[in-house]
Amino acid sequence: MGTGGQAPEDRVRELFRESAEVKRRSADGLAPEIARAARRIAEVLRGEGKVLACGNGGSAADAQHFVGELVNRFERERPPLAAIALGTNPVTVTATANDYAFQGIYAKEVRALGGTGDLLLAISTSGRSPNITAAAEAARDAGLGLIVLTGGQGGELAAMARGEGDVVLSVESRSTARIQEVHILILHTLCELLDRELFGEPK
């Protein structure tokens, strides 16, 4: 550590405080919309629809994580729930990107796998990822509902979620890391709310 620099331990505490503060603000501002998103997903699953999920980089990992919790389980035993993480087949992704454009990798899967009564969970910290907005457009054209996880002003992605059952969950932060930290908490919260909505209060 250079003279006058911040000790690593102090930086750790500062980052934890920053993360906690963004989470606190998000809880205050987003609680009603998170609850509405859970009800919307439950409605889709009760109607024998399915959830498609997509994102890039860390957001792709979040999408896959969420789908894993739905298909397997979250914190209690219950039947598997219908969900698909898009972009997990490298043959489909590379063929689409090579033959057409990377922008269409998720949109093509939405058109192939989604339909009326389904829902797309689209994750983009900026709300400006071209392949995610293309997927949202394909979902809208195919009659899927939209739940958007984004940050800041939400970008183009948030503007696309204007259907009656669509939900925008936008984290107020300029830091991609802080936004992603809240996104995973939102997804875990959705998992718990879904279990309660679909299977009752835990015993």
List, for residues 119-158, the tens digit of each pLDDT value.
999 999 999 999 999 999 999 999 999 999 999 999 999 9
- Does pLDDT of 4 surpass 80? no
d(CA 178, CA 180) in angstroms, rounded, equals: 5
The pLDDT value recorded for residue 202 is 84
Domains and CATH numbers, the chain: 11-199 (3.40.50.10490)
pLDDT at 47: 97
Task: Inform me whether the pLDDT recorded for 187 exceeds 80.
Answer: yes
Helix ranges (H only) for the chain are 8-46, 58-71, 90-99, 105-113, 130-142, 155-160, 176-199
Residue 83 pLDDT > 90, yes or no? yes
Task: Count CB-CB contacts under 10 A for residue 118.
Answer: 22
Q: What percent of the chain has pLDDT over 90?
A: 94
Q: What pLDDT does residue 56 have? A: 98
